[in-house]
Structure 1
Amino acid sequence: MPPQLLPASAAAFAPRANTVNVVLSSKVEPWLTQTLKRINRIKRPLNSVPQHQRCLTETLSSSTAIWTLTSLMLPKAPDSELRKDSNPLIEALFNYQLLHVEAYIVHVDMVLRNEVAFKLTPDSIESLIEYHKDIHCVDISANTYSWSEKEMQVKKLHEEFIQAINKFVYRTHVSALEGLEEDGAGELLCGKSDEVKNNIMGLFLPLLPPPPRIVDVVRQPPLLPSSPANANWWSQSTLPSSVPAPVDSWRVIPSSPSTTSSVDSNSLWASMGLTDIQLPSPTPSYSQPYSTSAMFYSSPQVSAPIPSLPLPSMLAQQPCGISVGYGGFNQPWDRYQEYATTM
């Protein structure tokens, strides 16, 4: 993209230069030749590029070379001071004014960008700044709610507009020079004035108040239906202060000392069978251990007597041989039928 070349006179707050910067190509367009011949009262030779450049520079550098870019219909006072009437024509005559936005040419480029640049006149800039301060700022301030920094924000908005309107430069195609008239004055053609109007009105920014602050509301957690109304929810979740220490299983003292006995197990099994086993006295102190088997149905127990079988301690130790039988280690094979009938 070619660089945007503008003279120093196009900068903000810069005064108008004595001459306009005009750059023409090596070949002059026919429409430019016809336009220069039309506006010149005195016939001047236009046979070369330097002659066209000299004629156009002198015409645009004249103090009377003022262009009307657009016209704005603006209110004369804030909304609260406007006249109210049933006839809209009367309201328009008394409440609105027509502001002509004027400018002068600061740059003509027919080589790189084929454009012409306009800068607003000091009178137009002053009129727009006055309208922004006395009417626009008053309306936007009245239409927004108040906050602590409202006046400061309005003042800052006005200062930004002053900078923007002084920097405003309108650029368009060089064909706009077809609207050139005598003494260098002119106006934009082909609907270009609407484009300038939209660009200027875009500099009138609205006042944006700060968003409302969001306040965090801390809500108490709901109580359960079984909890009392005045119970503290958080106090119920605390752990108990005293927790019993773990106890080893071997340190537990039995609840009934009578259930234990010091009788030798070898002598007990040697002197009695399975049917002769009885609990030691005193029996009343014995407590039945807790069992859940009584809660379920079970088949009745068989009450048939259990035959008394010899225990290992009653058998004599002898080496294993062919005489070992199913009845015991000391019984021969020929007594198998006897033991089978008893079982």
Structure 2
Amino acid sequence: MPPQLLPASAAAFAPRASSVNVVLSSKVEPWLTATLKRTNRVKRPLNSVPQHQRCLTETLSSPTAIWTLTSLMLPKAPEAELRKDSNPLIEALFNYQLIHVEAYIVHVDMVLRNEVAFKLTPDSIESLIEYHKEIHCVDIAANTYSWSEKELQVKKLHEEFIQAINKFVYRTHVSALEGLEEDGAGELLCGKSEEVKNNIMGLFLPLLPPPPRVVDIVRPPPLLPSSPAGANWWSQPTIPTSVPAPVDSWRVIPSSPSTTSSTDSNSLWASMGLNEIQLPSPTPSYSQPFSTAGLFYSAPQVSAPIPSLPLPSMLAQSQCGVSVGYGGFGWDRYQEYAATM
């Protein structure tokens, strides 16, 4: 990209130069020749590049060569002092003002960048600075909360605006010279004034208050699973299961022996081999009632309980008859064993 060169008159707080810096190419565009002929009251010869350059320089260097870049509709007073009326037309007439932003040309380049540079006039700069101080700063200060350095921040913001508006230079294509009028005055065409308006209003920055301080929240230390208060954290609700309650085997066998029960017991024990029966030796004189609940425990999804098998000790406690036989195992001598107990 070619270097962006500007004359010293385009610097901030620099006065207007007596002559505009104009650089033309080796070939003059026809639209420039037509513009110069239209704006000059005195007919001058425009047959060469130096003649075009001399004519354009004298025209733009005239004290009356002031251009209107844009117009801004701004409030006349802070928001709290504006007049309230039901008619919006009356509010607009009493509460708003139209500021015309004017500038003069400081640089014309038709060789490297094909651009023209404008710098705001002192009157326009002064009007914008006054509006920023008396209205804009008051409104932004009223719309933000107070803190210790609020006034200092508002003052700093205004000083930054003064520097920015004095440094403001609008650069656009050289075709803007088609808006040139008599005595070097002019007006931007093709919607360029809206671009200038957006650039200037972008200099009116809002007041940004400092972010709120982060307050450290003191949280209690986490409780370990071993602490009593945290016991409920690790406890789990008891899941109800469908395991049937254990039933005492002596409740299953009737108290009085019958033929049917004897027959069933005989057939059941007869079907079992000697190797499948394990009896304690010696037989204890006293034992707790045997429960077979642990033998058929399974997962909660049990469709039906497994029938309990009667053991010899169960038959002895239920006082079964001697008719119960176990294939020569000695159970027919029940009366002798019962007498010794």
Structure-1-length-normalised TM-score: 0.66
Separation in structure 2 between the aligned mates of residue 41 and residue 12 of structure 1, nearest angstrom: 34
Aligned length: 340
For residue 122 of structure 1, report the CA deviation from its aligned partner.
0.2
Offset from partner CA, 1:120-166 (integer Å, 9 cap, x none): 00000000000000000000000000111111111110000000000
Q: Retained in 1: the 8 A contact 2:250–2:314? A: no
Distance 1:338 1:264, change over 3 A: closer
Query: Greater CA deviation, 96-105 or 209-218?
Result: 209-218
For residue 253 of structure 1, report the CA deviation from its aligned partner.
57
For residue 217 of structure 1, report the CA deviation from its aligned partner.
1.4
Distance 1:249 1:177, change over 3 A: farther
Distance 1:28 1:262, change over 3 A: same
Separation in structure 2 between the aligned mates of residue 319 and residue 158 of structure 1, nearest angstrom: 113
For residue 209 of structure 1, report the CA deviation from its aligned partner.
0.6
Q: Retained in 2: the 8 A contact 1:270–1:311? A: no
For residue 246 of structure 1, report the CA deviation from its aligned partner.
49
Distance 1:59 1:263, change over 3 A: same
Separation in structure 1 between the aligned mates of residue 303 and residue 175 of structure 2, nearest angstrom: 128
Q: Retained in 1: the 8 A contact 2:262–2:323? A: no
Query: Greater CA deviation, 241-250 or 207-216?
Result: 241-250
Query: Greater CA deviation, 228-237 or 163-172?
Result: 228-237
For residue 306 of structure 1, report the CA deviation from its aligned partner.
44
For residue 111 of structure 1, report the CA deviation from its aligned partner.
0.5
Query: Greater CA deviation, 227-236 or 138-147?
Result: 227-236
Distance 1:93 1:15, change over 3 A: same
For residue 235 of structure 1, report the CA deviation from its aligned partner.
24
Selected match of 2:334 from 324, 336, 340: 336
For residue 289 of structure 1, report the CA deviation from its aligned partner.
29
Equivalent residue number for residue 60 of structure 1: 60
Q: Retained in 2: the 8 A contact 1:106–1:117? A: yes
Distance 1:46 1:317, change over 3 A: closer
Answer yes or no: is 1:122 the counterpart of 2:122: yes
For residue 221 of structure 1, report the CA deviation from its aligned partner.
3.3
Q: Retained in 2: the 8 A contact 1:20–1:61? A: yes
For residue 335 of structure 1, report the CA deviation from its aligned partner.
44
Offset from partner CA, 1:188-218 (integer Å, 9 cap, x none): 0000000000000000000111111111111
For residue 184 of structure 1, report the CA deviation from its aligned partner.
0.2
Query: Greater CA deviation, 320-329 or 84-93?
Result: 320-329
Structure-2-length-normalised TM-score: 0.67
Q: Retained in 2: the 8 A contact 1:59–1:65? A: yes
Structure 2: tracts of 5 or more residues without a match:
none
Structure showing greater Rg: 1
Offset from partner CA, 1:91-134 (integer Å, 9 cap, x none): 00000000000000000000000000000000000000000000
Offset from partner CA, 1:221-279 (integer Å, 9 cap, x none): 36689968999999999999999999999999999999999999999999999999999
- Indicate the SS of the match to 1:243: coil
Q: Retained in 1: the 8 A contact 2:117–2:170? A: yes
Q: Retained in 2: the 8 A contact 1:115–1:171? A: yes
Distance 1:300 1:175, change over 3 A: closer
For residue 220 of structure 1, report the CA deviation from its aligned partner.
2.2
Separation in structure 1 between the aligned mates of residue 94 and residue 130 of structure 2, nearest angstrom: 19
Q: Retained in 2: the 8 A contact 1:104–1:120? A: yes
Offset from partner CA, 1:7-62 (integer Å, 9 cap, x none): 00000000000000000001100000000000111110001001000000000000
Equivalent residue number for residue 140 of structure 2: 140
Equivalent residue number for residue 22 of structure 2: 22
Q: Retained in 2: the 8 A contact 1:67–1:102? A: yes
Distance 1:123 1:262, change over 3 A: same
Separation in structure 2 between the aligned mates of residue 129 and residue 304 of structure 1, nearest angstrom: 96
RMSD value, Cα: 13.9
Separation in structure 2 between the aligned mates of residue 63 and residue 303 of structure 1, nearest angstrom: 110
For residue 311 of structure 1, report the CA deviation from its aligned partner.
45
- Indicate the SS of the match to 1:220: coil
Q: Retained in 2: the 8 A contact 1:104–1:118? A: yes
